[in-house]
Structures are given as structure tokens and as C-alpha cells.
Amino acid sequence: MEPKKTHFKLAITKPKLSSTQITWSEAQLMKLKYRQNPDSLKIETNTGIEILNGFRVNADHMRKLLDGKNENGDVVQNPAQDIYITFGVNLEDVTKPVAQQYFTIIATSIDNNNIQQTNVVYDHCGPCPDLCPTSL
């Protein structure tokens, strides 16, 4: 499957400073309002431009990131207190002209000393749409 190109509109927002557990009902309302917002993120699909609903990340990779383990299961960095997700251009596209570059997310961890850990880094995500959960 060809990676999707995502279009981002920059907006100044006041970020929430901490995570809070919410109900599924609250999450559904938040997702609905996001999809209704004209500034929601967009993604180019085979059928046109659609709203980017989220990213799907491999759970085994997230467990390794949390535990600070490499692909062999060896501890190579401090365990995670937080996960840091940032945007990037797909590695195979970095030398292409801007119009031909596709985006991805890059996941790293931050330890309890607020230091980004860089020995376990993942750059793959599956965008939704196409890899959406059935509950969407």
C-alpha cells in the first residue's frame, strides 16, 4: 500500500498539559467535533481528500518503547514515563521534491528525567483512513 500524504493546517491552540482518563462516550463526542471542525487534519486517499482520523501503531512496538527494549528484547534505554510522537517525512521520501513527500509519525519515549530516549525509535504508522478500527 502506498503511504498517504497528509496536509496539515497550522493553528494556535492551547494544549492540554496532562493526560486524563475519559469515557468512551466523551471520546466519541470529541472525535465527532474534530471531524466537524473545518481545521481538522486532511489526508490524500485513493478516493480524494479525507479527514485524518488517527494513526494506528503496532502494540508490540509500543511495549518495547515503554520498556526501553530493542527488537531483540534487550534493554537499551531507560523505561518510558511518556511517549513522544512527532511528525516527519517518510525516510524514503526525504530526497524527493516536497510535492512528492509523504508524512509519517515518529515515536520515541521520554524518561522520568524528561530526557528523550533515542535508542528505540519507530517511524511506522498506519493512517486512518485506510487502517481504521471498526468502532470508528
pLDDT at 25: 93
pLDDT at 1: 47
The domain spans of the chain are 6-128
Cβ neighbors of 3 (< 8 A, separation 6 or more) are 90, 102, 104, 127
Residue holding cell 530526557?
115
Q: Average pLDDT of each block of 10 consecutive residues along the chain (136 residues)?
A: 50 62 91 91 87 88 94 95 90 89 89 95 82 78
Please tell me the pTM assigned to this model: 0.73
Query: What are the cell numbers at 19?
Result: 493526560
Q: CA angle, corner 111, sides to 54 and 10, nearest 5?
A: 35
Cβ neighbors of 130 (< 8 A, separation 6 or more) are 1, 4, 45
